[in-house]
Chain A
Amino acid sequence: MTLGTWFALLVAIILAAEAVRAVRHRAFGSERWRRFFRHPTAAWGVGILAFLVIVAVAAPLIAPFDPDRQLDIIGLKNHPPSWTFLLGTDVLSRDVWSRIVYGARVSLGIGGLGALVAVSVGSLVGAVAGYYRRWVDAVLMRTVDIGLALPRIFILLMAVALWDRLPFWVLVLAIGLTSWFGTGRLVRAEVLSLRERDYVLAARALGAGAGGVIFRHVLPNAAAPVIVSAALGVGNVLLLEASLSFLGIGIRPPTPSWGNMIADGAPSVYTAPWTTVAAGLAISLVVMSLNAVADGLRDALDPHEEGGAT
């Protein structure tokens, strides 16, 4: 760690704290945000997520070493944590802290994009099924039933085995396309009740097409459960990627992801636990923050609490 990287790290922490403060400042004006921050862990969750996103974006400034560079395969193999190597080095003498920093890009990217795919497909399918009902609904919901009964990790293992060197976007799509079933069912249930509302009738009476009604009137009002399931989805995708990488079929080395770092460190976990422990803690931290934020969002977006006494 050089002076420059310490400084960059400090700036990242200050920025994250500043972000939380800014959001909290808005909270005074809005009932929803006040409910969100009533969860003591929610603010911490936002702060940690903001910090990690900043770290991922500014990775070259914060990481002291090239994450893939093998510094000294003999002298610095499995070096314990020190001031130079904040989290030690791994079995190939690469700096663990630098790999965690760059791994944030890959892991958060996969989590975010995978959840985005899952939530988009799930919302669309759920909305179409709930809006059109009849046979469209029947076909789509039976698909969801089958999807939920699929042993997902097996399907992913098989799909992933089709490629020798799996491109990043294929992994994202594979995870996203096997993760939308729950969201689909959730959105459909929501849309089934929304489509009977007067404002939907009014929109249709004014001549709005099905697409317009779904996207402009139905989906925005079904946003609450979608947002919560998206927050939880990012964590789930992250864990799934980690499991796949641990089995050796997720993100291929040398590109660091938190999942394959756990796998990298696993053989030497008894003599040099820092690689595995650090990567696992990074995953836990993100998933925990997301769960905390989801808890807060669930309260904040709950219509039953709207206008209630606080």
Chain B
Amino acid sequence: MTGVVWLLRRFVASVAIIFAVVTLVFILIHVAPGDPCVGSEEGGTQDPVMCPLLTRQFGLDQPLHVRYGRYLLQLLHGNLGYSFSLHRPVSGALAETIPFTLQLAGVALLIDFLLGLGLGIYQALRVNRLPDVVLSNVTLFVYSLPTFWLALVLLLLFAEKVKLFPLGGPSDPILCPVIDSAYCLADRIWHLVLPAFTLGLVGAAGTARFQRAAMLEVAQQDFVRTARAKGLSERGVVLQHQLRNALLSFITRFGLTLPFLLTGAVLIETIFAWPGMGRLAVNAILTRDHALVTATALIASTLVVSGNLLADILIGIADPRVRVPADGGPETSLVPA
């Protein structure tokens, strides 16, 4: 029973956090100088006849609290508003870009976790021997690379020097504007390789470092010694006893990584001309597109919050020790990373 109450409390708290983020972003973007009509550096309508008309139509002449109230009312009806810079409803623009970001982030996440977990476990099996030492240094190096810089270097090496992959974009614009054949699917994957690897590689290095440390921490626990004393093989000890327990802290990492792949994709999408949500968000901020900025912030914060919630629920299922927090507070259930 307490579990349900806890879940309910967490859910309400999560909604409150998202609401607070949206409010904050709403105020910030409306207070920032330059509205879509006056025009900032790029975009915006500057027509002297249209401007007052548009200002009135979108209610930009109203005081902040009135606009905020209207926005919330629309949001409750599921209406995300109208984008000034794209001249279309925000929901349409998001529906078009989110699938691209999901493809990129999904593949990157897969590379991150498969490669990262694999390396981390492999290193834990060979602690302080040559492969482990080499890999430790390699992951330390890759983990420290600025992602967008790695993107530029990989482009330079594998798209310009060796013309192995395309320079950018989601697909061949002439042959494959939409994916309708096996050839076009292959084309999409071919375009995905570099951006997804850039994102995934840096993530995988972090995951590998994290997983190795988690495995070694578990290695010092008594039950591992017991398992070894029972006469289990080294491989059995590591895979059966260490790995299963080290995966618990990996769940927390999983929850924390989920939103990062979307926000981390901002620069990668810009460099690879990938028409995803991150690029949309950056353009929205630069053109003071109020509705679009608030909507992307809404999505980003929802991801962060639900990532945390998902991790906590998964940990609760996997680890009976943290199932019911003593005082019901939200943080008590967070396993220290």
Q: A108 in the interface, Cβ–Cβ < 8 Å?
A: no
Out of B33, B144, B296, B304, which one reaches A162, CB within 8 Å?
A: B33
**How far in angstroms is the closest Cβ of chain A from B281?**
6
Q: By the criterion CB–CB under 8 Å, are A243 and B146 in contact? A: yes
Proximity bits, A228-261, B CB within 8 Å = 1, else 0? 0000000100010011001100000000000000
Q: By the criterion CB–CB under 8 Å, are A246 and B301 in contact? A: no
Query: On chain A, which size bracket covers the interface?
Result: 35 or more
Q: By the criterion CB–CB under 8 Å, are B21 and A149 in contact? A: yes
Q: By the criterion CB–CB under 8 Å, are B146 and A157 in contact? A: no
Q: By the criterion CB–CB under 8 Å, are B301 and A41 in contact? A: no
* B137, B148, B300 pick with most chain A CB within 10 angstroms: B148
Proximity bits, B82-120, A CB within 8 Å = 1, else 0? 000000000000000000000000000000000000000
Q: By the criterion CB–CB under 8 Å, are A269 and B156 in contact? A: yes
Q: By the criterion CB–CB under 8 Å, are B282 and A157 in contact? A: yes
Q: By the criterion CB–CB under 8 Å, are B160 and A150 in contact? A: no
**How far in angstroms is the closest Cβ of chain A from B259?**
8
Q: Is the interface of A mostly helix, strand, loop or mixed?
A: helix
Q: By the criterion CB–CB under 8 Å, are B285 and A158 in contact? A: yes
Q: B291 in the interface, Cβ–Cβ < 8 Å?
A: no
Q: By the criterion CB–CB under 8 Å, are A154 and B297 in contact? A: yes
Q: In the complex, A157 Cα to B283 Cα: how many Å?
A: 11
**How far in angstroms is the closest Cβ of chain B from A134?**
12
Q: By the criterion CB–CB under 8 Å, are B153 and A277 in contact? A: yes
Which chain A residues lie closer than 8 Å to B192 at the CB level?
none
Q: A276 in the interface, Cβ–Cβ < 8 Å?
A: yes
Proximity bits, B284-328, A CB within 8 Å = 1, else 0? 011010000100110011001100000000000000000000000
Q: By the criterion CB–CB under 8 Å, are A158 and B293 in contact? A: yes
- Apart from the given pairs A141-B331, A154-B296, A235-B144, 19 other A-B contacts in the complex at a CB distance below 8 Å: A41-B140, A146-B21, A149-B301, A151-B304, A154-B285, A154-B300, A158-B25, A161-B34, A161-B288, A162-B31, A185-B331, A189-B336, A242-B146, A243-B148, A246-B148, A246-B267, A269-B155, A291-B143, A295-B140
What are 12 sample pairs from A and B whose C-beta atoms fall under 8 A apart? Answer: A149-B18, A150-B21, A154-B281, A157-B285, A157-B286, A158-B29, A159-B28, A262-B146, A262-B148, A273-B153, A276-B153, A288-B144
* In the A-B complex, the 5 residue pairs with the closest CB atoms: A280-B149, A151-B300, A288-B144, A287-B144, A149-B301
